[in-house]
Amino acid sequence: MTEKEKVERGLLYNPNYDEELIRERIQAKMLCHKYNQLEPSQLEKRRGILQNLFKKMGENILIEPSFYCDYGYHIQVGNNFYSNHNLVILDAAEVEIGDNVFIGPNCGIYTAGHPTDIEQRNKGIEYAKPIKIGNNVWVGGNVVILPGVTIADNVTIGAGSIVTKDIPFNTIAYGNPCKAVKNIE
């Protein structure tokens, strides 16, 4: 079984020894580099690069440079999406983002994680778990969303939060670790 097949099956894998994964990461990083070098007024060229990079993309999408991802083809973005500067999506697994999602600056969405077992980690072994962000979600600046998390619809994530567990519908959540602290009427 190849390392890419292991990723697709949700198993531990080593991304550093699979030629296909390496090639796909380089291709995605080349597209991110092109994207980040465009002038701010080149909105159609930006959109074209994202269409080539993402698995699925809705209408009215704006991601301010700099933007980085690992593969791109695991990312699905709905309609009316905005991300401020310095968004990083480590998309070894699926990242599904709904409609009307707004992300503040300096945020990370990380499907990739590393084992706590020292021998495995030192060999470069990692795992990937999907992340889902629902509709009508606002993510404040400097937020990190970790592997396997689902953020339900109608949620606000406070700035500086580290989201380690699922966040329920219609809530305001913040902290480290991030927790739902208030229901939204």
Q: What angle do CA 82, 85, 88 make, to 5 degrees?
A: 90
pTM: 0.96
Q: Which of 33, 74, 85, 114 is catalytic?
A: 114
* C-alpha span between 53 and 158 (Å, rounded): 29
The pLDDT of residue 78: 98
* C-alpha span between 183 and 185 (Å, rounded): 6
Active site residue 74: no
State how far Cα 144 lies from the chain centre. 9
pLDDT in tens, 156-181: 999 999 999 999 999 999 999 999 99
The pLDDT of residue 185: 80
CATH number of 3-183: 2.160.10.10
- Top mean pLDDT of 8-12, 115-119, 168-172 is at 168-172
Residue 50 φ then ψ, to 5°: -65, -35
